Amino acid sequence: MSWSKPLPANPVVAIAGATGAVGREMLLVLEQRAFPAAEVKALASVRSAGSTLPYRGGELTVEEMCPESFEGVDIALFSAGGTVSEQLRDAVVAAGAVMIDNSSAFRMAPDVPLVVPEVNPAAAFTHSGVIANPNCSTIQMVVALNPLHQVAPIKRVVVSTYQAASGAGAGGMSELYNQTRDFLADEPLHVEKFAHQIAFNCIPHIDVFLDDASTKEEWKMVVETKKILGDENIEVAANCVRVPVLRSHAEMVNVEFAAPISVEQARAAFAAAPGIIVMDDPATKTYPMPGLLAGTDATYVGRLRKDPTVAHGLNFWCVADQIRKGAALNAVQIAELLIGAGR
């Protein structure tokens, strides 16, 4: 089933969860990309109602989010958590708005497209009121995998992630800041957002553990990659690790292909693909690094090389800002697709 209501060229946009890290970034991305919204509404919980957020040289007053908030709204960008998205889905759709949801609530639902505009833009137009934003670590990986998949079919992917504290929101970044300060001052560390100390540490555990001893974050990368690339035969093995970086996730990706693909072909495919910047020159020690790429929009690739242990294999490293391309930017790009303003 596809959505029958046409969206106006200048839609009314609501940000659900506007005071969170991703919600604030959504406002910033809308402003920076000159998104042609007739009006932007900032919605959040009752405790944030009445506060203000900067937008386009002025301020938006935050409104308490309720089912009635979406009357007159055309596009609702949600980053308020899966429970809230599930509770308000019917109200959003009944109001005639399109929900672009950043939570995991609907990603694997058969009637909800999972969209990365550089990879499967046509899927955005098959929605029935809800479009899902993929997991942050999946987004950057499929942006990089897709051009390679067009050159030679992918058989298997093994990915190890190095995920920033921003994946746990503003509270995760604050915890890294505070623990780092306390560690250097030889003070006790307060652990709340993560399973263990994050300062000066790596935690091989993101989200809950599943029955097979993998984590839900790893499961997301497996099933979402297949759905976005439209190929259930691609095998994916994911290992997700939280590292003491504030913003931008990094991933080391090993890919096995069903047909030959050279390093030169892969490099050319990356260079020609939308949303990718190649940073790859060992002679000058040039490669993407998460600590230096925060606040940027692209997916960066480097350390591209042959994997000699399989017939057709490559390794590469990729980096993207988790709050921007991994969340807010991807959602706004979907909105741009819907109104025909993609860039």
- Spot the catalytic one: 127, 149, 240, 249: 249
Residue 194 CB neighbour total at 10 angstroms: 21
HEC string of the chain equals: CCCCCCCCCCCEEEEECCCCHHHHHHHHHHHHCCCCCCEEEEEECHHHCCCEEEECCEEEECEECCHHHHCCCCEEEECCCHHHHHHHHHHHHHCCCEEEECCCCCCCCCCCCECCCCCCHHHHHHCCCEEECCCHHHHHHHHHHHHHHHHCCEEEEEEEEEECHHHHHHHHHHHHHHHHHHHHCCCCCCCCCCCCCCCCCCECCCCCECCCCCEHHHHHHHHHHHHHHCCCCCEEEEEEEECCCCCCEEEEEEEEECCCCCHHHHHHHHHHCCCEEECCEHHHCECCCHHHCCCCCCEEEEEEEECCCCCCEEEEEEEECCCHHHHHHHHHHHHHHHCCCCC
Task: Report the alpha-carbon distance of residue 11 to residue 22 in Å, rounded.
Answer: 20
C-alpha distances (whole Å) from 140 to each of 76, 113, 268 are 23, 17, 18
**Residue 136 falls in the annotated catalytic set:** yes
Confirm if 11 and 75 have CB atoms less than 8 A apart: yes
Q: How far is CA 342 from the centre of its chain?
A: 18
Task: Report the alpha-carbon distance of residue 54 to residue 62 in Å, rounded.
Answer: 11
**Residue 249 falls in the annotated catalytic set:** yes
- Spot the catalytic one: 127, 136, 149, 240: 136
Please identify every residue annotated as catalytic: 136, 249
